[in-house]
Amino acid sequence: MEILIDEAGSFAVNNAQKNSWCVVAAYACPDTEKRKYRKILSDLKRRENIIYSEEIKLHQISESNYLFFLEQLNNLNGILFCTATDSHFNSEEFVLNHKKNQALAIRKNIDAMTFESGKEAVRYLAEQLENLPSQLYIQLTCQILLIYSVVDRGISYLVQRTPHTLKNFRWRIDQKEPFKKIDFEDAFEKFCPTLLQSFTLKKPASALSWCDYRPMSAFMYKKGQLPTYLVDKFPHLKDEQGFDIQKIVSGDMKFIDSKSYHGIQIADLLASGLRKLLRQGFSDNTLIATYLGKLMVQEANKKPPIQLVAFGPEEKLDKNTADIIKIFIKYSRPMIYKG
């Protein structure tokens, strides 16, 4: 399976305008469908008179052509995941407090370290997290929550339909500056494993008892082998099998220039489209929301299939945005496969 990730928006703090949405999107698709999504992208560029070797951006595409692009993607087995945050509500104070609490959660792992060198490493990591610029921290949090969502819901969705796609996980993330590792990439590689672990303590990703996970056995804990930190918090999982998130994420992850990688261009168009939609920027937002929603996977208890990230008190969505979220919920793909 290939997971293609890109973002849209600046993730700045203290934005004066409401609906200043920033989005991170992941398009997860079987390796066997790469040829198909390349054809869809090629057709889109041809319709907009753009050379195939050039990158295409949302502002170059007519709304009718973008809608047709989404319709074509809906004929594939790929699925869309996304996190979004409204910069208008992300004050510096809220983000600093969020960072402080996250660093505190990391420091709680110090006592679990056997050696002093390990304890010192955890202390240093927590300190570095606290010193991240707020803008970088917001983007980092949204992206890592997105990855956890892919693991949590994506695997459960695919194991019921195309379990063979779970033999490998190839993460491809948009690289902003080719040939140079920027601050975000460095921070992501440094903090991703630790933050993912903290997220599992809030909501452990669990296997479905009726499904066959043998294709992804290399990425699974066998029954009775779950990490102690999880079993201590969730004793009922002691004899269950589970996902080794570190292996799933760290095995094959690369930052790639979107100009040379068509899959990242697909993710870019989806992220940009979601951001424009949340800002009510299309002439027919309802229709665009319907086709984006059809690419998403249902969340439990009729929760939104898009994760809305708040760094302070949750604010009530305006009516137009709330209506878009309802469309996502209505048209998202059902989690349980009924044959």
Q: Is 17 exposed, middle or buried (0-12, 13-18, 19+ CB in 10 A)?
A: exposed
Q: What pLDDT does residue 118 have?
A: 59
Q: What pLDDT does residue 219 have?
A: 93
Q: What pLDDT does residue 47 have?
A: 97
Q: Encode pLDDT of 288-320 as tens digits.
A: 999 999 999 999 899 999 999 999 888 889 999
What band does 234 get if pLDDT is binned at 50, 70 and 90? confident
Q: What pLDDT does residue 103 have?
A: 87
* pTM of the complete model beyond 0.85: yes
The neighbour count for residue 119, using CB atoms within 10 Å, is 16
What band does 222 get if pLDDT is binned at 50, 70 and 90? confident
What is the spatial distance between Cα 1 and Cα 158, in angstroms, rounded to a whole number?
A: 10
129 neighbors 148 (Cβ within 8 angstroms): no
Q: What pLDDT does residue 111 have?
A: 65
* Residue 324: half-sphere exposure toward Cβ, Cα within 13 Å: 22
* The dihedral formed by the CA atoms of 154, 156, 159 and 164, expressed in degrees to the nearest 10: 30
Residue whose C-alpha is closest to residue 328's, from 301, 298, 308: 298
Q: Is 72 exposed, middle or buried (0-12, 13-18, 19+ CB in 10 A)?
A: middle
What is the spatial distance between Cα 25 and Cα 8, in angstroms, rounded to a whole number?
A: 8
Per-residue pLDDT averaged across 312-334, rounded?
94
Sketch the domain layout of the chain as residue ranges.
2-91+127-207+247-331
Q: For the stretch 197-235, what's the b/e string if a residue is b when 16 or more beta carbons lie within 10 angstroms of its beta carbon?
A: bebbeeebbebeeeeebebbeebbbeeeebeeebbeebe
Per-residue pLDDT averaged across 172-177, rounded?
87
Per-residue pLDDT averaged across 175-192, rounded?
76
What is the spatial distance between Cα 103 and Cα 327, in angstroms, rounded to a whole number?
A: 36
Q: What pLDDT does residue 4 have?
A: 98
- The DSSP result for 304-323, as a single string, is -SSEEP-SSS--PPPHHHHH
Q: What pLDDT does residue 291 have?
A: 98
3-state secondary structure 180-248: CCCHHHHHHHHHHHHHHHHHHHHCCCECCCCCCCHHHHHHEECCCCCCHHHHHHCHHHCCCCEECHHHH
Residue listed under structure tokens 């009530």: 316
- Judged against a pLDDT cut of 80, whether residue 224 lies above it is answered with no
CATH dotted code for 2-91+127-207+247-331: 3.30.420.10
